[in-house]
Structure 1
């Protein structure tokens, strides 16, 4: 079977994932019966249930709808699912169409002109900014986002009927992005990551070069200046972007607004300068993201007014430089950063935004293998903090690795103000310490204590 039109039922194994839930919402919108399993109940699974999608949390084949015709059923699974999952094994033995999430996303996106945002970090912010701008344009767009947009309060934007564009994150994990054949693509970064999948950086670069070779004839590629990538592997027209270095797209006259906290700049494009751009969202790293998103939107036909309006109205993504609390004396920001380069970028952005203020960072490492592979780099990034707090590793899909723990990072740090505590003990530690700007970082569940942190900071005012 290769035709989505034949599918009446769609079952998701790992439905609570950010990418999986967006696909679940899409197939629900298209009139299919949708159900699924996830290990953990979250606000996202609650939202899916409220939207009429049957979600359960026990790995048990009895929960799979028995009245679904197997030959009319598509089962989609996430590679993060353990191999011994009972429901996955059941579908493997049935005449259903069983595919990974990435293949399903590719099948949907490749039906339109896909705007694919790739890179080892920055994908979610750039893709959400791009979608926010393109929704201002006459053509509009749909989008599958890797986070919940604050503008749209969703991770799925349904495409207007006549829109040719659909924005999607091109995820390098498990080589997922090789299922996409975009019209426009962007590469934010190609750093060593997911070495449990790739082995070394050369293999990562090879995969990115394969991805950009899949851009459709007549397509366009935008690459951040300084990214080492052999663009001869693509027939697409290639453009560069940068925060402030000379490139096809870059910011000029960049400065903090007189009110403080937000950046204003002019945007250089191949067709001239777009003046008086304003990003009502903090962080220097997000200005760079805005330049990349604007480049994609520009190449998709967005006007100067569309770009300026989209940037000014952009409200951010949950867990991406997410300002959770702000008072005269206390600020709390939560971020998904989970790679050393991401930590360096977000910490640097916070320090640039709030100079001469103490920054306390709480970091939850994500994956034993990533902690092992980048312990030195994690330590160097966390040393940029005035005060660093580490909590135990969030294992996600992995089993423990002997000798690998958060203590491995702590021991390599030069920062004299460092702590290792249980996640549940963080609010108590912050209560005892003098705080100013607090930053939580990690791709696990560190945000689960955000409300407790907010309460502690409120009581300090």
Structure 2
């Protein structure tokens, strides 16, 4: 869950957020939900499920081939083999599964589906490949929740197996950092070299005891670091970069162009 600063707890988020939205389905309509959430919506309009491996519509055999995620797609009365997705990550395969399930209700053909999936490369600040040379790759992402961080890091692991992942993360909101401190630490520990920036407060006032130093303390990765935004991009010279990720929803996006320029200047 996210935005607990607005809803207070997970139950209110489900009741006042997702279920309230689902109740807007008109008579005769159909609700599409992820397979593992079907029980939470069982009393609402007819539910169709989707997911990876499970669901009325599901994707299986997800793998990376020639730099692209590929998968098989199953429905109640169809099987499409070896689809290629232009956007990276298993989370995007799951999103594509939902999109296919919906589009089939209005006449999607297999030919059109294959063409659209292969052509869709994603949107700005979602696993956006900013720079690449013979030795280094730089990717920027809006990820600001532990689940999103895990998805981005996982996608990078699959696309660049065996390579070192350096991630620079700017936490967004004191309340979100407090509510998910343990989850943030676990997600960031998946990196080979995690770098934290100070929390971007956005609409919030500071919360005593909640800062990036507290998150750094929670992390177990021996290569963890805490930097100031103003140190970048020059501080990157202290690292031996391979695959670099910048992640966050604050003003970390102002670093994208300077980092890109720095990488170009220091090209091997």
Scaled to the shorter chain, the TM-score interval is over 0.9
Task: Determine if the alignment matches structure 1 residue 250 to structure 2 residue 42.
Answer: no
Secondary structure in 2 aligned to 1:230? Answer: helix
**Residue number in structure 2 paired with 1:204:** 13
**Residue number in structure 1 paired with 2:188:** 382
- Decide whether the 8 Å contact of 1:205 with 1:229 is kept in 2: no
Measure, in 2, the Cα distance between the counterparts of 1:228 and 1:272. 22
Give how far 1:340 is off.
0.9
Task: Determine if the alignment matches structure 1 residue 393 to structure 2 residue 199.
Answer: yes
Relative distance call for 1:228 and 1:456 in structure 2 (3 A) is farther
Task: Determine if the alignment matches structure 1 residue 406 to structure 2 residue 215.
Answer: no
Give how far 1:386 is off.
0.3
What is the total number of aligned residue pairs between the two structures?
266
Give how far 1:329 is off.
0.9
Match of 1:372 among 162, 178, 182: 178
Unaligned runs of 5+ in 1: 1-190
**Residue number in structure 1 paired with 2:29:** 219
Task: Determine if the alignment matches structure 1 residue 277 to structure 2 residue 83.
Answer: yes
Give how far 1:282 is off.
2.2
- Decide whether the 8 Å contact of 2:33 with 2:48 is kept in 1: yes
**Residue number in structure 2 paired with 1:339:** 145
Give how far 1:430 is off.
1.3
Q: Which portions of structure 1, spanning 4 or more consecutive aligned residues, are displaced by more than 4 angstroms? A: none
Measure, in 2, the Cα distance between the counterparts of 1:448 and 1:272. 46
Quote the RMSD (CA, aligned, Å): 1.6
* Structure 1 residues 324-359: Cα deviation after superposition (integer angstroms, max 9, x where no partner): 112221111111111111111111111121111000
Secondary structure in 1 aligned to 2:208? Answer: coil
Measure, in 2, the Cα distance between the counterparts of 1:231 and 1:315. 32
Secondary structure in 2 aligned to 1:341? Answer: helix
Measure, in 2, the Cα distance between the counterparts of 1:404 and 1:253. 42
**Residue number in structure 2 paired with 1:231:** 41
- Decide whether the 8 Å contact of 1:213 with 1:233 is kept in 2: no
Query: Structure 2 length as normaliser, TM-score?
Result: 0.93
- Decide whether the 8 Å contact of 1:431 with 1:456 is kept in 2: no
Point out the structure with max Rg over C-alpha. 1
Give how far 1:233 is off.
3.4
* Structure 1 residues 76-130: Cα deviation after superposition (integer angstroms, max 9, x where no partner): xxxxxxxxxxxxxxxxxxxxxxxxxxxxxxxxxxxxxxxxxxxxxxxxxxxxxxx
Measure, in 2, the Cα distance between the counterparts of 1:302 and 1:308. 10
Measure, in 2, the Cα distance between the counterparts of 1:300 and 1:409. 47
* Structure 1 residues 233-255: Cα deviation after superposition (integer angstroms, max 9, x where no partner): 312x2111112x13211223433
Task: Determine if the alignment matches structure 1 residue 309 to structure 2 residue 83.
Answer: no
Relative distance call for 1:344 and 1:255 in structure 2 (3 A) is closer
Give how far 1:400 is off.
1.8
Give how far 1:309 is off.
1.4
Match of 1:266 among 72, 75, 88: 72
Measure, in 2, the Cα distance between the counterparts of 1:287 and 1:415. 29
Measure, in 2, the Cα distance between the counterparts of 1:195 and 1:228. 22
Secondary structure in 1 aligned to 2:72? Answer: strand
**Structure with higher RCO (Cα < 8 A, 6+ apart):** 2
Secondary structure in 1 aligned to 2:233? Answer: helix
Measure, in 1, the Cα distance between the counterparts of 2:241 and 2:151. 21
Secondary structure in 2 aligned to 1:441? Answer: strand
